[in-house]
Amino acid sequence: MPLTGVAFTKGHGTGNDFVLVTDPDGELEIAPDHVRTICDRHRGIGADGLIRAIRSHHLPEGRALLQSDPSAEWFMDYRNADGSLSEMCGNGVRVFVHLLVSAGLLSLAEGATASIATRGGIKLVERSPDGYSVDMGPWEFIFPDVATARGTDCLVEADGLEVPRPALSISMGNPHTVVALADPAELEATRLVDAPVVQPPPADGTNVEFVVPRDPLVQDGVGQVRMRVHERGVGETLSCGTGACAAAAATRFWAGAEAPLVWKVDVPGGVVGVRFHAGPDGREHVSLSGPAVLVATGTLL
């Protein structure tokens, strides 16, 4: 079934924006060209990515996840603005759940949780008074031996930075490279029109976060950082949920054993919360909290 005549919703989480379509029975054929056209900010609707809501049993990845959690009825089929598939999107999954709730496809009372299937695994989403909180699962180093021995594992070149900067590669189910900068002026001077060059790069490419700690770093027990991000397949975005988690994880690692478990990450599109906690699998998990906003509906022509 082509996309012509299909209803869509536009939404965002702290400025990270998406076009969302509901396809419960897997009838739509979504090609990369369709995604690029829809997400084009000058010739299309404009978005950082396209999200399809499809019942999990219609996709091989979803059927596999249902084996471990039969309650994961809905699969978040996420594509970057360039049409490429992506494992997960922390801001996107909040907006995805808000769409399902608003459309009556999912019942979720305040304080209740829902299991959402993604290519990055099952994500537990809790409804809160000011939005949604997502258990993003465990974080881990992409190059653990080098990271733990040196504190960094790669170098990043970016337009506006005079020399390559050391960085840390972290997986949140999707790859991230976190660069610490000295002050807000450096953060503002970094130009993210072109993708930063990462050496060595993670195997599947990477999102690159540039982070400046607040002064003081910790206030009232909460760590604070500012962040800008270049997302693979998209470019600079106003926010990145998995990127905020990776930025907090890297900064916390650099800060040492006394670093807090709760962080506030300021992004150009707003503020998200990050919390580290013990997961049911015995590993350290990261939860991401923030708003989800639906702004428009329409029909694709």
Q: Which of 97, 96, 134 is nearest to 20 (CA)?
A: 96
Q: How far apart are the first and last CA of the chain?
A: 14
Active site residue 245: no
Pairing between β-strand 121-128 and β-strand 262-267 as defined by DSSP bridges:
unpaired
Active site residue 240: yes
CA distance 227 to 229: 7
Q: Which of 39, 154, 240, 245 is catalytic?
A: 240
Are 38 and 31 a contacting pair, CB within 8 Å?
no
Half-sphere exposure of 177 (CA within 13 A, CB side): 28
SS3 141: strand
> Per residue, what are the HEC states of 229-277?
EEECCCEEECCCHHHHHHHHHHHHHHHCCCCCCEEEEEECCEEEEEEEE
Q: Structure tokens of 47?
A: 């978005």
Known catalytic residues are 89, 240
